[in-house]
Amino acid sequence: MGKNKINIGQVGCGNWGPNLLRNFYKLQEVNVKYVAEKDKSRVDYVKKNYSDIEVVDGIGPILDDNNIDAVIIATPAELHYSQTKQVLEAGKDCFVEKPLAMKTDKAQELVNMSLSKKKILMVGHTFLYNAAVHKLKEEIQNGNLGEIYYLYSQRLNLGRIRSDINALWNFAPHDISICLYLMDCEPCWVSAIGASYIQNMIEDVVFLTIGFANNVIANIHVSWLDPNKTRKMTVVGSKRMIVYDDVSEYKIKIYDKGIDKLNMNQSLNGYSSFGEFQLIHRAGDLLIPKIDFIEPLSVETKHFTSCVLKKIRPDSDGENGVAVTQIIEAGEKSLSQKGKRVELFK
């Protein structure tokens, strides 16, 4: 591009939009030229806090402006596919909030379009830019946990109840993207059960299980009907176990706990009787590593800006968005079949 500054337009400034706008606006490499918004309260918010940004009532003026380099999509999930497609067709780079699309084939179509047009496509999987998640990945890669047995997460809150999407679409993309990042292994199957208590056919609570090719299973519990705000993930390994707690002051806790199999007859290659081994419970130290924590959204928006300027592939690229969408779509199918396992085909 040969530029050191990019012009962007943002579509949507509702639920998550203000956070994106705040972070993009403060970047020296970014000039936020437009915000597209129809809701009067949100229009007033932008005009009051960002007087130099032009507020328009639709995506059209942003796409028609040849000086706009990239567009941020922060609208309801069901609009992501159509609006991202418009952005790419207009020849502009695109950052779209999660999920990339509501159907896997639609998500893949967007990836193919971005590749054919040589445009940046990045999905807002914010937790992939979280220093604590990076530390978790480092511990796994270094072998400090030993063989990974399983992991589980809880993303719970008594909060804003959505009427456009269920708790699976609303919350699970975060934890699915983290699981895929940590495991670096192909997911093979998905199973999900859930229940609709407040609104008919819109699940308020979902338990999603993912099976990976290395026999690791990941369980994801999401709900907007829970008394406590919980953002926690536990990874259990043969040597150590880690708890990542996003709402705690101490984001990562490493437990030197496990069960060791003690061979009582070292001369034998295997065990021929029960008495030849003992299971030893091990409980060692608790380690709380120091995390140099920077707001993940700040890291994420700066990363997208750098990708646009340097024309490099984002960490949370379109393919990442396709993988997450595929798992959620399979989860929806399993929900409709009362938890039946759904195989993933690549």
Report pLDDT digits (tens) over 152-171.
999 999 988 888 899 999 99
Predicted pLDDT at 257: 78
Per-residue pLDDT at 265: 54
> Which pLDDT tens digit goes with each residue over 33-67?
999 999 999 999 999 999 999 999 999 999 999 99
Strands (E), the chain: 6-11, 30-36, 54-56, 70-73, 93-97, 121-124, 148-158, 187-195, 205-212, 217-223, 225-237, 241-245, 252-263, 277-287, 342-343
Taking the model in full, what pTM does it have?
0.90
Query: Distance from first CA to last CA of the chain, Å, rounded?
Result: 35
Mean pLDDT of the chain: 93
206 has a pLDDT exceeding 80 = yes
**Would you say 251 and 221 are in contact if contact means Cβ atoms under 8 Å apart?**
no
Q: What tokens appear for 321 in the block?
A: 């968005």
CA angle 130, 133, 134 (to 5 degrees): 85
Mean pLDDT for the stretch of residues 134-157: 96
Nearest one of 154, 277, 333 to 227, comparing CA atoms: 154
List pLDDT tens digits, range 220-251.
999 999 999 999 999 999 999 999 999 999 99
The mean per-residue pLDDT over the stretch 312-338 comes to 97
- Report d(CA 94, CA 101) in Å as an integer: 14
Distance CA 178, CA 254 (A): 18
Distances (CA, A) of 327 to 173, 210, 318, 345: 9, 8, 15, 11
In whole angstroms, what separates CA 68 from the centre of its chain? 27
pLDDT computed for residue 184 by the predictor: 84
Which pLDDT score is estimated for 226? Answer: 95
Q: Tell me the fold of 6-126+298-312.
A: Rossmann fold (3.40.50)
H/E stretch holding 305: helix 296-310
Q: Look at the alpha carbons of 147, 136, 102, 64 in this order and tell me if their dihedral is positive or negative.
A: negative
Segments making up each domain of the chain, as ranges: 6-126+298-312, 128-295+328-343
For 253, counting Cβ atoms within 10 Å of its Cβ (0-12 exposed, 13-18 middle, 19+ buried), the class is middle
Q: Omega before 99 cis (within 30°)?
A: yes
Tell me the helices (H) and strands (E) count for the chain, helix number first: 9, 15
Q: Is 205 helix (H, G, I), strand (E, B) or coil?
A: strand
d(CA 122, CA 76): 17
Nearest to 100 by CA among 334, 328, 299, 305: 328
Find all residues with CB under 8 Å of 184, minimum gap 6, and list them.
none
pLDDT, tens digit (0-9, with 9 covering 90-100), for 92-102: 999 999 999 99
Q: Cα(325)–Cα(11) distance, rounded to whole angstroms?
A: 21
Q: Phi/psi class of residue 240: alpha, beta or left (left: φ > 0; alpha: ψ in -120 to 50)?
A: beta
Q: How confident is the model at residue 268 (pLDDT cuts 50, 70, 90)?
A: very low
Cα-trace Rg, the chain: 22
Mean of pLDDT values over 21-37: 98
Please write the tens of the pLDDT for every residue from 273-322: 455 556 666 677 899 999 988 999 999 999 999 999 999 999 999 999 99
The CATH class of the 128-295+328-343 domain is alpha beta
DSSP three-state, residue 71: strand
Rounded to whole angstroms, how far apart are CA atoms 343 and 187?
9
At residue 267, the pLDDT reads 45
141's enclosing H/E stretch is: helix 131-141
Q: Which is nearest to 24 in space by CA: 343, 319, 306?
A: 306
Q: Look at residues 203, 104, 127 and name the one whose alpha carbon lies nearest to residue 163.
A: 203
